Structure 1
């Protein structure tokens, strides 16, 4: 029996009657500070395994991500490495109310075993054998700003300024140290505890202020509800376990 052709107009009406596939609806675009990369990748993987939903993440410095969101970049969720930028976006009506999702800290990291016996970060960073030290740009990267605060408090900055090599974000500063482009890196504890960081050595930098990291849901987008679902998962038991694994409080 010949099956009659269905008019194109009818097909269009049928397609329009159904929403987009769940997988498409549930893709959440997240602007994430570079220090949070390791934790974010693990949380996203578990989230997808448990819910079937997925996220796409862009990593950069907090300052650059903030500027992109201000210009209308299509992110659904912003996870910053400071408190100020999400607060500003909330005040401007670009985001919903900001919230704290993690507290991080600065460490001094090296892959060079010859420094392993040093008692503290000051002994390492003032070692005469150190030629280059990577740090993220303090103007746009909160971990770089915190590292600079520690150098200034100890009076080390005049002596070390010419040895500093700047990464666009803390992940890049870490990569410089991992690949040996620099002897040391002033980075986030989370990166020192990552898969690439664990073979090295690190010292806490107590003079650097602890970094309260805030986030916010970008308002007005199609995925606002999905963004809140992911956020609820991240702030739940599974997410908190991952955060602690990477040294966040």
Structure 2
């Protein structure tokens, strides 16, 4: 079912920002409210800025919400799509779970690229999509340490409990699929309860990486898609046999002004051109 994972990493790209988050149950609700208002402001700003009232996206431009693990791969795909079609694509990246709530509350987007199946299915079953979920990629986990840090020996997975990994970062499993996958990986390795006191949480998997990059965490379970873009950290792919890879899934939403444009962009993602980019960023391609 899985395609061959690319073995050659791309060169480093521009450095990511250093802002980090540590989530508590109390702060998650506030984060959602702020994030929702920010997303709506971005999308409504794009939709309402044209004097003819048709919105900045006009008849062509596409508004997308995408899981944070796509931050680098999708940027490349958006650039290629613009070069080929002349159509602008605006992307907001974040936690799949929080973006699902934003869509349910009316965020006006055309296409949602989720990090797993469950949230996309939730939108479909709740009547917030114009069609069934469509798998577009398989997401994998990686271990990451700050630059100069020592990675655990994967031949002995219990090295994750080494005292040098005093703080371990994962995405918040309450709304981030990569956090759920990290939980399940640790549980399957028999380490979850032992390591739970050391865990800190990023709002999404990109924020989790930033905890590692800034040295706020000694070890992180992040998206393998970040490895080709490694800067201020280094990492190693976790063998997919140790956990269930994420079936990343797309839905066309009902709230957008250009659903057909979203459909065409999704077709581009799933074309040989898009699949080649995803493979370079260590995504698998569903059959």
Shift of 1:232: 1.3
| TM-score between the two structures when normalised by the length of structure 1 | 0.85
Q: Is the CA contact 1:79–1:216 (under 8 Å) kept in the aligned structure 2?
A: yes
Among 38, 52, 68, the residue aligned to 1:34: 68
Q: Is the CA contact 1:134–1:184 (under 8 Å) kept in the aligned structure 2?
A: yes
- 1:100-139 equivalence runs, <5 A: 100-116=135-151, 118-120=153-155, 122-139=157-174
Rounded to whole Å, the distance in 1 between the matches of 2:256 and 2:192 is: 44
Instruction: From the CA coordinates, give the structure whose radius of gyration is larger.
Output: 1
1:177 pairs with 2:212 = yes
Q: Is the CA contact 1:121–1:203 (under 8 Å) kept in the aligned structure 2?
A: no
1:157 pairs with 2:192 = yes
Rounded to whole Å, the distance in 2 between the matches of 1:45 and 1:124 is: 41
Residue by residue over 1:81-103, the C-alpha shift from the partner in whole angstroms, topping out at 9 and shown as x without a partner, is 11011112122222121100001
Among 220, 231, 238, the residue aligned to 1:204: 238
Secondary structure of 1:180 counterpart? coil
1:71 pairs with 2:105 = yes
Rounded to whole Å, the distance in 1 between the matches of 2:109 and 2:55 is: 20
What is aligned with 1:214? 249
Shift of 1:55: 0.8
| TM-score between the two structures when normalised by the length of structure 2 | 0.75
Secondary structure of 2:58 counterpart? helix
Secondary structure of 1:158 counterpart? helix
Q: Which runs of 5+ in 1 are unaligned?
A: 1-14
Residue by residue over 1:178-228, the C-alpha shift from the partner in whole angstroms, topping out at 9 and shown as x without a partner, is 12111111011101222437x613241542211101111113532011111
Rounded to whole Å, the distance in 1 between the matches of 2:156 and 2:103 is: 36
Among 92, 105, 122, the residue aligned to 2:126: 92
Number of positions where the alignment pairs a residue of Structure 1 with one of Structure 2 = 232
Shift of 1:119: 4.1
> Which stretch shifts more, 113-122 or 150-159?
113-122
